[in-house]
Amino acid sequence: MYKFIVLIGTGIILIAFFFAITYIKKRKPDYFKYIFLYLLSGLLISANTIMANTSAWILKNTKSILIEQVLILLQSLLLGKFCLGVLKESVYAKKIKWLIYLMILTQIIFIIIVHTENIEIRPSISSNLILLIFCSYYFRNLMTNEPTLILVKSSAFWIFMGIFFSSCIGFPVGTLTQFIPKYGEYGHVRSQIFSIFNVSLIFLYLFIIKSYICLKHPQNL
Amino acid sequence: MIFFIVISVLLILALVVFISLIIYRYQQKQNIYFKDIEALKTSHQNTLLQSQLEIQEQTFQHISREIHDNIGQKLTLAKLHLNTLNYTNTDKTIEQVNDSVNIISEAINDLSDLSHSMSSEIILNNGLIKALEFEVAQLAKSKIYKISFTAGGEPIFMDAHAELVLFRIVQETLNNIIKHAAASQISIDLHYDKTLLTMQVNDNGRGFKVNEAVTGTGLQNIKKRAAALKGCLHINSKINDGTQIKIEIPLYANSTNI
């Protein structure tokens, strides 16, 4: 099940990347450069996961996990920069800047803890939580500003929806990881929970595709 | 497997509900917003219309005054000359006829100037800047005033009615200067910003006490017209130190693409 979801996810990332390439020359908001890099790092994470599951992969499991965590750190930074790009005119811009620093710092600390103390925790929980805060800023901004947007045609809206969905699922999953047994009677629950998390990530990539499609219409942010 | 499917479906449903809710709330807000904008536009149009009616009324009064005080007087004088022609004295007759022809020519010119300055055709056909250039040229003809006009920034075409109101403001201001200021120099500056049109009329006349004069009809008219364009009027004046009238009009409220 888990591998199947990973394969589907990789396919969706490839399609999203294809859209990013197709729309590379089209005039678009500045924050799309972060989304392009996000897709690129998503592809690298997928490649790393697929290779880690093949016996021919030369790197040890711990190194593969470290690579994945560093790439997730990069992705969190890129999503943070994207949020800052969208909300740069809002009153939250300064807070977002500081929260990005906090997010990166805590994630680095978590990565170090995971690799030195052997505690099982997903370092991305801090970024999930902080990205949820960014989403709340976006929604608040959306509801307090003049409602001149056509939401269904707004790229930023769909990306924020994807971030919101994946972070909503990613945060509890990441926090509860160490409490879910790996083996035994309920061992399969773990892989299913991670599959749900991966499905939420697939939705994020689907919404990124939708945001690229929205570029056909003039963007009024 | 069932656990995975059930949870996934529930989460996806929650996402769909959440997105629908956000879009629904936003669209509700958007509907109210557009209704407000529409109401504001209607009220703006009404104020503009009212202002135009007032302008029309004043224009009629002005025409009537001009015909009675100026052109009428000249024609009466010409008639008097022609009525008192003495056919026995040929030289005097020729002189009287020539005088009459001159007076009638002056009356025709005045009539033509009056017609030009009252017509809104020039605004509709050529825009505010050309109309102001014409108005300045007319006043410069009198050789009483040293008058200048400058237009800066990138001109933005406003709604024709708004331009007409603005033009009438300048005419009213110039009228006030002619009537009361005893000035020798007048300058009109127009400056277009991205969102704001600033118009400044300066003179070096005798000036006045702003607090006492704001109740006068002329300045009240200017104020009302500026308000009709959602603009701000600033008056600076000191006794014997000239007057500066500055009007700032937001372009977003008066541009042609509203």
Give kind and range of the element (H or E) at residue A136. helix A125-144
Q: Which residue in the set B8, B18, B23 is minimally distant from A151, CB to CB?
A: B23
Same domain, B168 and B83: no
Q: Does B124 touch chain A (CB under 8 A)?
A: no
Same domain, B100 and B183: no
**Structural domain includes residue B123:** no
- Say what the pTM is: 0.63
Q: Which residue in the set B4, B15, B23 is minimally distant from A196, CB to CB?
A: B4
Q: What is the pLDDT of residue A103?
A: 92
Is pLDDT of A81 > 50? yes
Interface contact flag, A196 B26, Cβ < 8 Å: no
Same domain, B148 and B95: no
Q: What is the pLDDT of residue B1?
A: 67
Q: Does B1 touch chain A (CB under 8 A)?
A: yes
Q: Using beta carbons and an 8 Å cutoff, which residues of A are at the interface with B?
A: 1, 139, 142-143, 146-149, 151-152, 161, 164-165, 169, 189, 192, 195-196, 199-200, 203
Mean of all residue pLDDT scores within chain B = 83
Same domain, B157 and B225: yes
Mean of all residue pLDDT scores within chain A = 85
Q: Does B4 touch chain A (CB under 8 A)?
A: yes
Interface contact flag, B1 A203, Cβ < 8 Å: no
Q: What is the 3-state secondary structure (H, E, C) of chain B?
A: CHHHHHHHHHHHHHHHHHHHHHHHHHHHHHHHHHHHHHHHHHHHHHHHHHHHHHHHHHHHHHHHHHHHHHHHHHHHHHHHHHHCCCCCCHHHHHHHHHHHHHHHHHHHHHHHHHHHHHCCHHHHHHHHHHHHHHHHHHHHHCCCCEEEEEEEECCCCECHHHHHHHHHHHHHHHHHHHHHHCCCEEEEEEEECCCEEEEEEEECCCCCCHHHHCCCHHHHHHHHHHHHCCCEEEEEECCCCCEEEEEEEEHHHHECCC
Q: How far is B32 from chain A (nearest CA, A)?
A: 9
Same domain, B58 and B141: no
- The helix-helix angle for A187-214 and A2-22 (nearest 10°) equals 10
Whether ipTM exceeds 0.90: no
The string of pLDDT tens digits covering residues B50-90 is 877 877 777 787 788 878 888 888 888 888 888 888 888 88
Is pLDDT of B113 > 80? no
Same domain, B174 and B228: yes
How many domains does chain B fold into? Answer: 2
The string of pLDDT tens digits covering residues A88-108 is 888 899 999 999 999 999 999
The string of pLDDT tens digits covering residues A18-43 is 988 888 777 778 888 899 999 999 99
- Length of chain B as a residue count: 258
Is pLDDT of B152 > 70? yes
The string of pLDDT tens digits covering residues B27-37 is 999 899 989 98
Interface contact flag, B11 A161, Cβ < 8 Å: no
Chain B contact set for A195 (CB, 8 A): 4
Site from A199, A202, A220 to mutate, B interface, most B CB atoms within 10 angstroms: A199
Same domain, B146 and B244: yes
Q: What is the pLDDT of residue B246?
A: 92
- Identify which has the larger pLDDT, B252 or B48: B48
Among B116, B149, B166, the domain boundary falls at B116
Q: What is the pLDDT of residue B65?
A: 80
Same domain, B136 and B246: yes
- A187 near A138, Cβ under 8 Å? no
Among B96, B116, B136, the domain boundary falls at B116
**Average pLDDT rounded to a whole number, residues B193-214:** 84
Is pLDDT of B174 > 70? yes
The three-class DSSP label of residue A108 is: helix
Site from B26, B33, B36 to mutate, A interface, most A CB atoms within 10 angstroms: B26
- B155 near B192, Cβ under 8 Å? yes
Interface contact flag, B25 A143, Cβ < 8 Å: yes
Q: How far is B12 from chain A (nearest CA, A)?
A: 9
Q: How far is B6 from chain A (nearest CA, A)?
A: 10
Parent domain of A150: 2-220
Q: How far is A160 from chain B (nearest CA, A)?
A: 11
Model confidence band, residue B258 (pLDDT cutoffs 50, 70, 90): very low
Pick the most confident of A59-63, A84-88, B64-68.
A84-88
Among B82, B116, B150, the domain boundary falls at B116
**Structural domain includes residue B121:** no
Same domain, B187 and B244: yes
**Structural domain includes residue B54:** yes
CATH code of the domain in which B210 resides: 3.30.565.10
Spatial distance between the Cα atoms of B142 and B177, rounded to a whole number of angstroms: 14
**Structural domain includes residue B122:** no
- Identify which has the larger pLDDT, A119 or A57: A119
Q: What is the pLDDT of residue B257?
A: 40
How many domains does chain A fold into? Answer: 1
Nearest residue to B252 (alpha-carbon basis) of B39, B47, B41: B41
Residue matched to tokens 């599959």: A195
Q: Does B16 touch chain A (CB under 8 A)?
A: no
Same domain, B83 and B42: yes
Same domain, B138 and B209: yes
Parent domain of B107: 2-116
